[in-house]
Amino acid sequence: MMEFKRLLIENSDSIVQKWMEEIESLKDSNYTATISDELYESTNREFVNVIFTSIRNEGSTKAVEDFSEKIINLGWPLSYITDGLQIFRRVSTEYLITQSEVVDSNFFTELSSSVNEWVEPLIRELVNEYSGSWEHIVSLQRVALQELSAPLIPVMEGITIMPLIGTIDTERAKLIMENLLEGAIKHNSEVVLIDITGVPVVDTMVAHHIIQAAEAVRLIGSTCILVGIRPEIAQTIVNLGIDLSNFPTKSSLKKGFSTALAITGRHVTDLNVKENNIEKMMDSLRGE
């Protein structure tokens, strides 16, 4: 077996060349067809270097880990790794057969065992690292999406808005409640507007979660206004017998914001109209 390994490493240039030719032939017919030739070639060379590094050192975890992470960041599928290793298995076996003077059943058994000792651990390690890195990235993305799924946005002193988009399930409802309470206290909100314009369906469960959130906000001294009540949602709420009488509801964010301004003792003034009125008063004083 050590003899096979020595032959493999001594003839690595020939094996790498054959491997590069075969993996290059896959480019036009599979998942990597849209990748630039330069990136594809450089990544292939890095891949085969990782393979030989692992064989020489009987496993090089750092190189494998870095390469798996790179493939994920490039957006390449796991099949690129498995195809590449299968090609290496075949190319290595064929090359070592050509270098032997005696080819019999014992030779095939020993050769197959040697190649498997090189390739199988590498397949497991690369696949495990790829899967672990992928799960880590997905986990980070899930956290990021959760943070974005229930944002509380301060738009004016004492007024904050929570725009909701998409389906509301139990897990997201819990996040909405937490963000509402923490944000209302943090921003010292007198009024919180929950905008459900982007929520496609409001059923009993969704309405229940929203009512709970509104009640929680009320208990900490803030007023909650539900905005984005479309006609079909209003009809659904009535048909379900859901009581929303304990807090204001508005059909649009604009109307809800006007109500929030009134609650906080403010209103919108048209500056142009105000300036025109002042000019008219001045003109009248001057007798014009």
pLDDT digits (tens, 9 = 90+) for 22-50: 888 777 665 566 778 888 888 888 888 88
Question: What order do you get walking across the sheet with 249-250 strand by strand?
Answer: 153-156, 159-165, 191-198, 223-227, 249-250
What are the tens digits of pLDDT across the range 120-136?
Answer: 877 777 777 777 766 66
AA letter at 142: R
179 compared with 146, residue with greater pLDDT: 179
- In tens, the pLDDT along 46-76 reads 888 888 888 777 655 677 778 887 887 787 8
Domains along the chain with CATH numbers: 1-146 (1.10.490.10), 153-269 (3.30.750.24)
Rounded mean pLDDT, 78-99: 85
* 182: region left, alpha or beta (phi > 0 left; psi from -120 to 50 alpha): alpha
- 156 conformational bin, left if phi > 0, alpha if psi -120 to 50, beta if neither: beta
- Contacts with 264 (C-beta within 8 Å, 6 or more apart), sequence order: 156, 157, 158, 159, 190, 191
pLDDT (mean) for 140-168: 76
Q: Give the pLDDT score at 192.
A: 92
pLDDT band, very low/low/confident/very high, at 234 (cuts 50, 70, 90): confident
Q: What's the confidence (pLDDT) of residue 190?
A: 92
Lowest-pLDDT range of 3-17, 98-112, 126-140: 126-140
Task: Give the CA-trace dihedral at 7, 12, 17, 19, to 10 degrees.
Answer: 80
Q: Nearest CA to 18 among 99, 97, 101, 92? A: 92
Query: How many angstroms separate the CA atoms of 114 and 93, rounded?
Result: 9
With a cut of 80, say whether residue 255 has pLDDT above it.
Answer: yes
Contact assessment for residue 260 and residue 225, using Cβ atoms and an 8 Å cutoff: yes
In which band, very low, low, confident or very high, does the pLDDT at 159 lie, cut at 50, 70 and 90?
very high
**Amino acid identity, position 273:** V
Counting residues of the chain whose pLDDT is more than 70, the rounded percentage is 82
